[in-house]
């Protein structure tokens, strides 16, 4: 049976906290080095997924030499968190089913395990992830529609699609906590042997847990824990407020099952960790972002600011394809 147990998510995309920190550090370091060497970090991408890395600075006396400050790991985290939140905004604006934002968020997270935000602007990647998630979850919306809906150029979405899919190593099936939450709630029905008038309580529990899951998706937890554990943590938080079931007893029942991988104390500890991440999640404010944004802008360089390429695209469709990919290569700025 193909399920989470046999999934690429389990095999490849769940990390220990140390490993995850290393990945972020390494992605950041690569960009920092490129910035030092090249004076910019932006990696150009074309629709076929081909990458163009910045070239080394030719003469050091150039004005490009002015000291550019790279983002640090923490600032990168902020940047990602800010745009992850935007993923949910976009998805709710389109009234997409829940799993789409969850899939898009996982894609976004995985993408930035390979790359620094200094190399690919998270705004563009975010949109592409939403677009790709719609495709994978069979909820297709045209790139144009997404672009129109949020006033962004849809060609950028298409331009990054290949790069995103490749960075995901084409591991497209992702598991989110939502279905697991539903599964557990169904299971609780049996566990409690609920009467009809108690069904409403479980429905409320489901709703509240789903809201917690929306938050957990914005943290690093999906890269650290399997969806079932995320689901249980969300349910436990929700149940803490609603008091629908005796959660400890329910957990005991779960770990007493023959295929359980954990003891009750292990599971409780895991859930505590997830809960900690949920409770400590803080949405970055625009104000937090201001400074970081400025830094990011200078790292990415002016050579291919989107406004510029957008103008070109408007001028002529065909020309723009050419120019947006060629100009940065051939025309030195400065």
Partner 1 sequence: MVMADLGKLNVEEPPPIWGSRSVDCFEKLEQIGEGTYGQVYMAKEIKTGEIVALKKIRMDNEREGFPITAIREIKILKKLHHENVIQLKEIVTSPGRDRDDQGKPDNNKYKGGIYMVFDYMDHDLTGLADRPGLRFTVPQIKCYMKQLLTGLHYCHVNQVLHRDIKGSNLLIDNEGNLKLADFGLARSFSHDHAGNLTNRVITLWYRPPELLLGATKYGPAIDMWSVGCIFAELLHAKPILPGKNEHEQLNKIFELCGSPDENIWPGVSKMPWYNNFKPARPLKRRVREFFRHFDRHALELLEKMLVLDPSQRISAKDALDAEYFWTDPLPCDPKSLPTYESSHEFQTKKKRQQQRQNEEAAKRQKLQHPQQQHSRLPPLQHGGQSHAAPHWPAGPNHPNNNALPQVPAGPSHHFYGNGKPRGPPAPNRYPPSGNQSGGYNQNRGGYSSGSYPPQGRGAPYVAGPRRPSGGGAYGVGPPNYTQGGQYGGSGSSGRGQNPMGGNRNQQYGWQQ
Binding site for partner 1 (CB under 8 A): 1-2, 6-8, 26-27, 30, 38-40, 44, 46-55, 57-58, 64, 114-115, 131, 135-136, 138, 140-143, 155, 157-159, 161-162, 165-173, 301, 303, 318, 320-322, 324-326, 328-329, 332-334
Distance (Å, rounded) from C-alpha 287 to C-alpha 290? 5
CB nearer partner 1, residue 171 or residue 288 = 171
Is the sign of the CA dihedral 160, 161, 166, 168 positive or negative? positive
Angle, alpha carbons 104-13-170 (nearest 5°) = 60
**What is the spatial distance between Cα 171 and Cα 174, in angstroms, rounded to a whole number?**
8
CB 90 → partner 1: shortest distance, Å? Answer: 17
CB of 297 to partner 1, least distance (A): 13
The least CB distance from residue 96 to partner 1, in Å, is: 14
Of 142 and 260, CB closest to partner 1:
142
Minimum Å gap between C-beta 59 and partner 1 is 11
**Which are the contacts of 101, defined by CB distance < 8 A and separation ≥ 6?**
87, 88, 91, 92, 130, 133, 214, 217
Enter the DSSP assignment of 138.
Answer: T
For residues 72 and 166, which CB has a smaller minimum distance to partner 1 in the complex? 166
Distance separating alpha carbons of residues 6 and 117, to the nearest angstrom: 31
- In this complex, which beta carbon is closest to partner 1, that of residue 48 or of residue 257? 48
- Taking the complex as a whole, the smallest distance from the CB of residue 288 to partner 1 amounts, in Å, to 28
Shorter beta-carbon distance to partner 1: residue 26 or 264: 26
CB of 52 to partner 1, least distance (A): 5
Query: How far apart are CB 113 and partner 1 at their closest, in Å?
Result: 8
Nearest to 147 by CA among 139, 156, 138: 156
Q: Find all residues with CB under 8 Å of 296, minimum gap 6, and list them.
A: 71, 79, 117, 118, 121
Nearer to partner 1, 156 or 251 (CB): 156
Nearer to partner 1, 274 or 299 (CB): 299
Contact yes or no for 264/251 (Cβ under 8 A): yes
C-beta of 33: minimal distance to partner 1 in Å? 10
9-48 CB burial, b ≥16 within 10 A, e <16: beeebbbeeeebeeebeebbebbbebbeebbbbbbbbbee
Question: What is the rounded CA–CA span in Å between residue 33 and residue 196?
Answer: 62
Q: Which is nearer to partner 1, 54 or 122 (CB)?
A: 54
90, burial (CB in 10 Å: exposed 0-12, middle 13-18, buried 19+): buried
């Amino acid at each position: 049976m193909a399920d989470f147990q046999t999934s690429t998510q389990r095999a490849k995309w769940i990390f220990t906290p140390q490993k995850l920190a290393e990945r972020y550090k390494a992605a950041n370091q690569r960009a920092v080095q490129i910035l030092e060497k090249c004076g910019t970090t932006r990696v150009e991408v074309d629709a076929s997924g081909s990458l163009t890395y910045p070239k080394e600075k030719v003469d050091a006396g150039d004005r490009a030499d002015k000291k550019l400050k790279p983002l640090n790991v923490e600032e990168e985290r902020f940047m990602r968190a800010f745009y992850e939140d935007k993923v949910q905004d976009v998805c709710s604006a389109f009234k997409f089913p829940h799993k789409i934002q969850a899939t898009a968020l996982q894609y976004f997270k995985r993408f930035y395990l390979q790359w620094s935000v200094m190399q690919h602007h998270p705004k563009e990647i975010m949109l592409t992830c939403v677009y790709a998630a719609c495709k994978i979850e069979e909820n297709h919306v045209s790139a144009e529609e997404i672009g129109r809906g949020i006033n962004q150029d849809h060609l950028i979405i298409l331009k990054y699609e290949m790069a995103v899919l490749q960075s995901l190593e084409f591991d497209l099936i992702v598991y989110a906590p939502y279905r697991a939450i539903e599964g557990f709630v169904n299971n609780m029905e049996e566990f409690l042997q609920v009467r009809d008038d108690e069904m409403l309580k479980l429905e409320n529990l489901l709703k509240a847990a789903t809201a917690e899951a929306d938050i957990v998706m914005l943290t690093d937890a999906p890269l650290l824990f399997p969806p079932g554990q995320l689901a249980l943590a969300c349910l436990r938080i929700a149940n803490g407020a609603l008091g629908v079931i005796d959660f400890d007893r329910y957990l005991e029942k779960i770990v007493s099952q023959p295929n359980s991988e954990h003891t009750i104390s292990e599971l409780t500890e895991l859930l505590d960790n997830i809960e900690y991440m949920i409770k400590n999640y803080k949405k970055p404010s625009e104000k937090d972002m201001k400074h970081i944004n400025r830094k990011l802008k200078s790292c990415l360089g002016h050579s291919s600011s989107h406004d510029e390429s957008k103008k070109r695209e408007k001028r002529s469709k065909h020309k723009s394809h050419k120019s947006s990919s060629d100009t940065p290569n051939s025309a030195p700025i400065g």
